[in-house]
C-alpha cells in the first residue's frame, strides 16, 4: 500500500467533502500596473509574465486564472506578483486547502470549457465561484501535491530532452542542406530575375473560402487561410510570403490558390523548382533581414528578383534534390516520432493527475 493509500485509509476512508471554490478561496481582479517603476516583481497577464515592476499586488501563494484569452493557462505563483485585469488572482484559505492542490485540481477541470463569450474567450467570477473542488484532509492534499510535483518535474525533464533532440535533428538537416548547396567557382551564381518569373497571387476574401476543400489558399503565412474551389498555381510551385510572415519560403506539392501576399516563382527550363526551394531555404536569413518592419512586415519583390542562387546542371540539381528529399523525409519521421512522444508524456501526466484528484464524495 502506498503512502497516499495509507493516508486516505486513515483520514478519509468513506470519501471526502466537496465544496464550491468560493468556500475555500477569494477571487480577486487584477489592476493596471502602468505608472510603477521597473523592478523584480513579475506582472502577469493571461499569456504569462508581461514585464517587471517594483510593487506587488499580492505576496502569498496564489493560483492565477485567466479572465480573458488563454483560459487553459493557469499559473501557480509563490513569490510576490502583480496581475492585470485579464487575469484573476486568488486568496486561498490555507488552513483548509493547499494552494498547489487548488492549482492541480483546476488544471484538471479544463476551465476553457466554461467560456461565456462568443468572441474572445472569457470567464466570470460568478461561474468560477461555483466550480466544485474536493477537500480531503491536509495530509492527503500534501501527499498528492508531492507526487504531482515529482511527476511534473520528471515530465518536464523528459520533454526538455526530447525538444533538444528535435532541435539537434533540425540543425543537422540544415547543416547538410547548406553543405550540398555550397559550390565553388565552377558553378555560376545567377539572379532569380534571370531564370524565373515572379508573379503576385490574386486576392480572395474569407467569405469565398471554406474550412475543407480541394485547393488550399495561402495568403500571409505558411498555414492555409482556408480552401477555395479553384486554383491559380500548379503543384511544385515555390512561393514566398511578402506580407505578414514576410520572408517565409513555401513549396506546394498540390495545386493551390495564391492570394495577393504570395509571390509565386515560375522556373525556366534550366532550373528545377524543388532545387530552387532548397536554395531559397539557405537564403532565408537574408530574406528575413530585408523585411521592412512596419505595422505589417513586408518584403519587396525586387529583393527576391535580385537574389542570387547557384545554378549547377539539371542532373546535379536532381541529384541534390533526391538526397535532400530522402534526408528531409527521415528527419520528418524522427520529428513526428519525437513530437508524438512529447504528446504521450503530457497525456500520461494528465491521466495520472486526474486519477489522483478523483475522490469518492462523502455522503451526508
Whichever domain contains 50, its CATH number is 3.90.220.20
Regarding whether 330 and 256 lie in a shared domain, the answer is no
Regarding whether 300 and 234 lie in a shared domain, the answer is yes
Regarding whether 305 and 196 lie in a shared domain, the answer is yes
CA distance 55 to 81: 8
What's the confidence (pLDDT) of residue 1?
56
- Asked if residue 53 lies in contact with residue 33, where contact means CB atoms within 8 angstroms, the answer is yes
Q: How long a stretch of residues is the chain?
A: 364
Q: Which helix (H) or strand (E) holds 90?
A: strand 87-92
CA distance 89 to 79: 13
What global pTM score does this model have?
0.69
In a domain, 125, yes or no: yes
Name residues of the chain where pLDDT drops below 70: 1, 118, 364
In a domain, 182, yes or no: no
Regarding whether 203 and 307 lie in a shared domain, the answer is yes
| Residue-wise pLDDT tens digits, 207-261 | 888 888 789 999 999 999 999 999 999 999 999 999 999 999 999 999 999 999 9
CA distance 84 to 345: 32
Full domain range(s) for residue 29: 17-135
Bridge partners of residue 201, in order along the sequence: none
Regarding whether 294 and 239 lie in a shared domain, the answer is yes
In a domain, 58, yes or no: yes
Regarding whether 150 and 82 lie in a shared domain, the answer is no
In a domain, 43, yes or no: yes
Widest Cα–Cα separation across the chain: 88
CA distance 101 to 321: 54
Regarding whether 257 and 230 lie in a shared domain, the answer is yes
Amino acid at each position: 500500500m502506498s503512502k497516499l493509500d495509507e493516508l486516505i485509509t486513515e483520514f478519509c476512508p468513506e470519501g471526502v467533502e466537496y465544496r464550491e471554490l468560493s468556500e475555500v478561496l477569494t477571487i480577486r481582479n487584477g489592476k493596471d500596473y502602468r505608472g510603477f517603476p521597473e523592478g523584480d516583481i513579475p506582472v502577469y497577464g493571461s499569456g504569462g509574465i508581461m514585464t517587471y515592476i517594483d510593487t506587488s499586488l499580492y505576496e502569498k501563494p496564489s493560483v492565477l486564472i485567466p479572465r480573458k484569452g488563454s483560459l487553459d493557462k493557469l499559473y501557480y505563483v509563490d513569490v510576490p506578483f502583480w496581475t492585470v485585469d485579464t487575469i484573476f488572482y486568488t486568496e486561498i484559505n490555507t488552513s483548509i486547502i493547499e494552494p498547489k492542490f487548488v492549482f492541480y485540481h483546476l488544471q484538471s477541470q479544463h476551465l476553457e470549457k466554461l467560456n461565456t463569450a462568443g468572441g474572445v474567450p472569457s470567464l466570470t467570477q460568478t461561474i468560477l465561484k461555483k466550480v466544485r473542488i474536493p477537500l480531503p484532509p491536509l495530509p492527503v492534499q500534501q501527499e498528492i501535491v508531492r507526487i504531482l510535483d515529482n511527476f511534473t518535474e520528471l515530465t518536464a525533464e523528459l520533454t526538455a530532452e526530447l525538444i533538444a533532440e528535435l532541435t539537434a535533428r533540425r540543425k543537422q538537416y540544415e547543416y547538410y542542406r547548406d553543405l550540398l548547396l555550397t559550390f565553388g567557382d565552377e558553378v555560376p551564381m545567377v539572379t532569380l530575375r534571370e531564370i524565373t518569373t515572379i508573379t503576385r497571387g490574386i486576392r480572395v476574401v474569407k467569405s469565398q473560402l471554406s474550412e475543407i476543400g480541394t485547393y488550399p489558399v495561402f495568403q500571409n503565412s505558411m498555414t492555409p487561410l482556408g480552401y477555395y474551389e479553384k486554383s491559380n498555381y500548379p503543384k511544385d510551385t515555390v512561393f514566398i510570403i511578402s506580407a505578414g510572415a514576410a520572408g517565409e519560403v513555401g513549396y506546394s506539392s498540390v495545386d493551390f490558390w495564391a492570394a495577393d501576399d504570395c509571390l509565386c516563382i515560375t522556373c525556366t527550363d534550366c532550373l528545377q523548382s524543388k532545387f530552387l526551394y532548397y536554395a531559397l531555404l539557405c537564403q532565408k536569413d537574408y530574406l528575413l533581414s530585408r523585411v521592412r518592419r512596419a505595422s505589417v512586415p513586408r518584403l519587396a519583390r525586387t529583393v527576391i528578383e535580385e537574389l542570387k542562387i547557384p545554378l549547377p546542371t539539371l542532373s546535379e540539381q536532381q541529384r541534390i534534390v533526391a538526397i535532400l528529399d530522402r534526408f528531409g523525409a527521415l528527419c520528418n519521421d524522427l520529428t513526428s516520432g519525437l513530437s508524438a512522444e512529447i504528446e504521450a508524456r503530457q497525456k500520461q501526466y494528465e491521466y495520472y493527475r486526474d486519477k489522483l484528484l478523483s475522490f469518492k464524495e462523502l455522503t451526508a
